[in-house]
Amino acid sequence: MSSATSALIWWLIPIAAVIAVLFYVLWVTKFQERFQNETTRSVSQFQRFQNSFRDRAEAEAIADAASQAATEAATEARERSNPTEH
């Protein structure tokens, strides 16, 4: 490798690093908030998705409890109306 190539590499690496840092600073100051908002919106949608399962499970548990209570009430009413069948 010639000294000219070596010198070019020693200049290109720091220049590329400075350009990368400038693009990163630009991204942080201008665009990061937009990406964070999209992430927050996505997380909120996922939490609503999870809650829909939780809400459905709670509604089914309430419906099962109401059904069981109605069955027990009907059984008790039947037993009171026919006390001799015990």
Q: Are 79 and 86 in contact (CB under 8 A)?
A: yes
Q: Is the pLDDT of residue 62 over 60?
A: yes
Q: What are the sequence ranges of the domains in the chain?
A: 1-30, 31-86
- Tell me the whole-structure pTM to 2 decimals: 0.38
69 vs 14, more confident? 14
pLDDT tens digits for 8-60? 889 999 999 999 999 999 888 887 777 777 777 788 888 888 888 887 878 88
Q: Are 55 and 48 in contact (CB under 8 A)?
A: no
**Residue 86 banded pLDDT, cuts 50, 70, 90:** low
Q: Is the pLDDT of residue 82 over 80?
A: no
> What is the distance between the terminal CA atoms of the chain, rounded to a whole angstrom?
105
Single-letter amino acid, residue 29: T
CA distance 77 to 29: 72
Question: Could you say which DSSP state residue 31 is in?
Answer: T
pLDDT computed for residue 85 by the predictor:
56
